[in-house]
Chain A
């Protein structure tokens, strides 16, 4: 399956962009479960997921997949700081989603999110705790 077929299968109206030897597809309303199922079915490997803050309390989430040495990056946005979990489709997402929850308090619906790097008593979202930093707000490029 080539990149265009992947894009069409996901129903994205955007186009693939090549940046620094990797492919990027920005789809604000991406069906992440459908995307994960497709990528697993075509033998792709989930490398990791990156979260970063954007205005209005939402988060920009990037799913990085390796497909035969090519890095494909699916970019989407959270809705009310929540996205569906893909752990049941790709088990590697287990720790990845828990870490993002610890860092940003993003919820991944459909699963429990025990802390990974924080202690059980700590509230999630350590990268957003106000007392830590009141200066520069991280945002996407």
Chain B
């Protein structure tokens, strides 16, 4: 006999609005349907009714966790449209901000994953580390989230205290390598909860267009920072962690290794950052008639922006495709034949953002 179990629209693990309807035979999941309509704000529609500078602040509010990369990608599209060259120092500052944001995002996810597994001390370790990163971001930008660092043609603030960044990143790397990686990879309880659960094959990941750590945990190697570099990534060396087992454990490992790489990227950027201007020139830039696309590797994967302009100061069309939008449908594949008790963890394992998905 099958049972239909509605979970949500309040996510049991992530405290975000999503409804997962699970059909079970006993405790085994036979089918799943997802509903993500609870956070729709019409951001694209709103962006088409504001000038470019207002729209930067607006798109930064698509997401509370990866806000910076939204503004960066939008600005990249506009800079491509206007043919602007962003000064090198600004490119490095953008890279540092994006990687610090990735660290906070992955730390948040690791903490929540630990909490879902009932590992409260690990949750506290992750969040204590994240707190240091958020303090650092506040020191740089004045805000813990929604940093307001990007503008068309560069960044709004210089990096006043690079040594503070270096010290915090060193501490974060130490926490990740000395505590998080050993705990997440060697603890028997975590292995039991994560290994072999919520699997997605490489073929499924390709067919369903999965991106980011979710795809790289299933053996795909694509990372926009390497395949289509932006900011200062083409001047920095880093590895793209890839796992092949495609389960929850692989997603944990990929994100943990990515955190180490992010620390490495920030340290390199601090070593290499050149002096010079942080903005290309005038604050108000004329955006000519035309259209452009831009992509970036957000913490959850590829973020895509399309912008078209008719030459006025208001965009004609702004299209945003967030990584969670393509990763979330793959959750159904991961949950089929899973145990009902694993549903919240499988869902959390792709690090879904419903605010990004619904926009």
How far is the CB of B59 from the nearest CB of chain A, in Å?
Answer: 15
A residues 83-141 in Cβ contact with B at 8 Å: 90-92, 94-96, 99, 103, 115-119, 126-127, 132-133, 135-136, 138-141
With beta carbons under 8 angstroms apart, the residue of B209, B304, B308, B328 that contacts A52 is: B308
The contact of B40 among A50, A73, A117, by CB within 8 Å, is A117
Given the complex, which residues of A lie within 8 Å of B289, measured CB to CB?
A: 141
Interface of B: prevailing SS: mixed
B13 CB to nearest chain A CB (Å) = 21
Chain A to chain B contacts (Cβ below 8 Å), 26 pairs: A19-B291, A19-B292, A20-B80, A20-B81, A20-B290, A20-B292, A20-B293, A21-B80, A47-B209, A52-B317, A91-B207, A91-B329, A95-B328, A103-B45, A116-B36, A117-B359, A126-B45, A127-B44, A132-B45, A135-B49, A136-B48, A138-B48, A138-B317, A139-B310, A140-B308, A141-B291
Chain A CB within 8 A of B309 CB: yes
Point out which of B49, B209, B308, B319 has the most chain A C-beta atoms below 10 A from its C-beta.
B209
State which of B36, B208, B309, B359 has its C-beta within 8 Å of the C-beta of A141.
Answer: B309
Known: A50-B306, A132-B45. A71 touches B317 (CB 8 A): no
User: Does B141 have its Cβ within 8 Å of any Cβ on chain A?
Assistant: no
B314 at the interface (CB under 8 A from A): yes
- Cβ of B28 under 8 Å from chain A: no
A91: shortest Cβ distance to chain B, in Å? 5
Q: How large is the interface on B (under 10, 10 to 19, 20 to 34, 35 or more residues)?
A: 35 or more
Closest beta carbon of chain A to B292's beta carbon, Å:
4
Q: Which residues of B contact A115 (CB under 8 A)?
A: 37
In the A-B complex, the 9 residue pairs with the smallest Cβ-Cβ separation, listed nearest first, are A20-B80, A92-B209, A69-B227, A48-B321, A20-B292, A117-B40, A50-B319, A52-B317, A141-B308
Q: Give the contacting residue for B208; candidates A62, A68, A70, A92; CB below 8 A.
A: A92
A15 on the interface (CB 8 Å rule)? Answer: no
With contacts A71-B295, A117-B358, A139-B310 taken as known, whether A90 is within 8 angstroms of B290 at the C-beta atoms is no
Cβ of A22 within 8 Å of any chain B Cβ, yes or no, is yes
